[in-house]
Amino acid sequence: MDLQPVHALPGVPVSMTEDRPITQLLQAFAGGDKTALNHLIPLVYSELRKIADGHLRNERPGHTLQPTALVHEAYARLIEQKQPDYRNRVHFLAVSAQVMRQILIDHARKKFAAKRGGSRPKYSLDEACDAAIEKPSLMIDLDDALKALEAHDALKARLIEMRFFGGLTAEESAEVLDLPVNDVRRGLRIAQAWLQRELDRTAVDAV
Helix (H) or strand (E) segment spanning residue 85: none
More confident residue, 159 or 206: 159
**8 A C-beta contact, residue 17 and residue 9:** yes
Q: Report the pLDDT averaged over residues 91-113.
A: 84
The reported pLDDT for the residue numbered 177 is 87
| Residues 6 or more apart whose Cβ sits within 8 Å of residue 128 | 138, 139, 141, 142, 195, 199
More confident residue, 79 or 11: 79
* pLDDT tens profile 58-85: 665 555 678 899 999 999 999 998 888 8
Helix (H) or strand (E) segment spanning residue 72: helix 67-80
- Residue 65, helix vs strand vs coil: coil
Q: What is the DSSP letter of 32?
A: T
* For the chain, percent of residues with pLDDT exceeding 90: 34
**8 A C-beta contact, residue 24 and residue 92:** no
Res. 205 pLDDT band, cuts 50 70 90: low
The reported pLDDT for the residue numbered 13 is 40
What are the Cα distances from residue 197, in Å, to 47, 82, 84, 123? 33, 32, 30, 11
- Rounded to whole angstroms, the Cα distance separating 180 from 203 reads 35
pTM for this model (two decimals): 0.70
Sign, Cα dihedral of 169, 172, 173, 179: positive
DSSP characters over 162-197:
IIIIS---HHHHHHHHT--HHHHHHHHHHHHHHHHH
- Judge whether residue 159 has pLDDT over 60: yes
- Judge whether residue 116 has pLDDT over 60: no
Structural domains of the chain ordered from first start: 1-114 (no CATH), 116-207 (1.10.10.10)
- Judge whether residue 43 has pLDDT over 70: yes
Between the two ends of the chain, the Cα-to-Cα distance in Å is 48
